[in-house]
Structure 1
Amino acid sequence: MEVCRPLKTDDKLKHRPLNPYRFFRGMICLVVFLSTAFMLLAYLGPGAVLLRYLSIHYSRKATSFFFGLWLSMWPFLFEKVNGTKVVFSGDNVPRKERILIIVNHRTEVDWMYLWDLAMRKGCLGYIKYILKSSLMKLPVLGWGFHVLEFISVDRKWETDETILHQMLSTFKNPRDPLWLALFPEGTDFTEEKCEKSKKFAAEVGLPVLTNVLLPKTRGFCLCLETLRGSFDAVYDLTIAYKRQCPFFLDNVFGVDPSEVHIHIQRIPINNIPTSNAEAAAWLTNRFKVKDELLSDFKSQGQFPDQKPEEQLSTLQSLLNFTVIIALTTIFTYLTFSYKLCMVYVSLACLYLAYITHCKIFPMPLEILPFVKGKKDD
Structure 2
Amino acid sequence: MEVCKPLKSDHKLKHRPLTPYRFFRGLVCLTLFLSTAFMLLAYLGPGAVLLRYLSIHYSRKATSFFFGLWLSMWPFLFEKINGTKVVFSGDNVPQKERVLIIVNHRTEVDWMYLWDLAMRKRSLGYIKYILKSSLMKLPVLGWGFHILEFISVDRKWETDETIMHQMLSTFKNPQDPLWLALFPEGTDFTEAKCLKSQEFAAEVGLPVLTNVLLPKTRGFCLCLEALRGSLDAVYDLTIAYKHQCPFFLDNVFGVDPSEVHIHVQRIPVDEIPTSNAEGAAWLTDRFKLKDQLLSDFKSQGHFHGEGEEEELCTQKWLVNFAVIIGLTTIFSYLTIGSRVCKIYVGLACLYLAYITHYKIRPNPLVSSVCGKGKKDE
The SS at the match of 1:309 is coil
Q: 1:254 to 1:102 in 2, by over 3 A?
A: same
Matches within 5 A, 1:216-365: 216-365=216-365
Q: Which residue of 2 aligns with 1:370?
A: 369
Q: 1:11 to 1:137 in 2, by over 3 A?
A: farther
Q: CA deviation at 1:370?
A: 3.0
Residue 37 of structure 1 aligns with an amino acid whose one-letter code is A
2:42–2:349 CA contact under 8 A, matched in 1: yes
Residue 348 of structure 1 aligns with an amino acid whose one-letter code is A
Q: CA deviation at 1:66?
A: 0.8
- Structure 1 gaps of 5+ residues are 1-9
Q: 1:278 to 1:12 in 2, by over 3 A?
A: closer
Residues 168-205 of structure 1: CA distance to partner in whole angstroms, max 9, x if unpaired? 00000000000000000000000000000000000000
In 1, the alpha carbon distance for the partners of 2:330 and 2:76 equals 23
The SS at the match of 1:307 is coil
Matched, 1:200 2:188: no
2:54–2:369 CA contact under 8 A, matched in 1: no
Matches within 5 A, 1:159-238: 159-238=159-238
In 2, the alpha carbon distance for the partners of 1:139 and 1:238 equals 31
What TM-score, normalized by structure 2, do the two folds share? 0.96
- Report the aligned-residue RMSD: 1.2
Matches within 5 A, 1:48-63: 48-63=48-63
Q: Which residue of 1 aligns with 2:3?
A: none
- Structure 2 gaps of 5+ residues are 1-9
Q: 1:376 to 1:81 in 2, by over 3 A?
A: farther
Residue 61 of structure 2 aligns with an amino acid whose one-letter code is K
Q: CA deviation at 1:375?
A: 2.3
Residue 217 of structure 1 aligns with an amino acid whose one-letter code is T
Q: CA deviation at 1:376?
A: 5.3
Residue 183 of structure 1 aligns with an amino acid whose one-letter code is F
The SS at the match of 1:145 is helix
2:101–2:179 CA contact under 8 A, matched in 1: yes
Matched, 1:150 2:161: no
Q: CA deviation at 1:374?
A: 4.2
Residues 63-113 of structure 1: CA distance to partner in whole angstroms, max 9, x if unpaired? 000111000000010001101010000001101110000000000000000
Q: 1:370 to 1:12 in 2, by over 3 A?
A: closer
In 2, the alpha carbon distance for the partners of 1:271 and 1:370 equals 38
Deviates most, 120-129 or 10-19: 10-19
1:209–1:291 CA contact under 8 A, matched in 2: yes
Q: 1:77 to 1:376 in 2, by over 3 A?
A: farther
In 2, the alpha carbon distance for the partners of 1:195 and 1:11 equals 22
In 2, the alpha carbon distance for the partners of 1:245 and 1:31 equals 24
The SS at the match of 2:267 is strand
In 2, the alpha carbon distance for the partners of 1:11 and 1:218 equals 38
1:42–1:345 CA contact under 8 A, matched in 2: yes
Matched, 1:83 2:83: yes
2:12–2:244 CA contact under 8 A, matched in 1: no
Residue 249 of structure 1 aligns with an amino acid whose one-letter code is L
1:36–1:328 CA contact under 8 A, matched in 2: yes
Residue 196 of structure 1 aligns with an amino acid whose one-letter code is K
What TM-score, normalized by structure 1, do the two folds share? 0.96
The SS at the match of 1:356 is helix
Deviates most, 10-19 or 38-47: 10-19
Query: Across the two proteins, how many residue pairs are aligned to each other?
Result: 366
1:98–1:231 CA contact under 8 A, matched in 2: yes
Q: Which residue of 1 aligns with 2:4?
A: none
| Identity within the alignment, % | 83
Residue 280 of structure 1 aligns with an amino acid whose one-letter code is A
Q: 1:166 to 1:374 in 2, by over 3 A?
A: closer
Q: Which residue of 2 aligns with 1:30?
A: 30
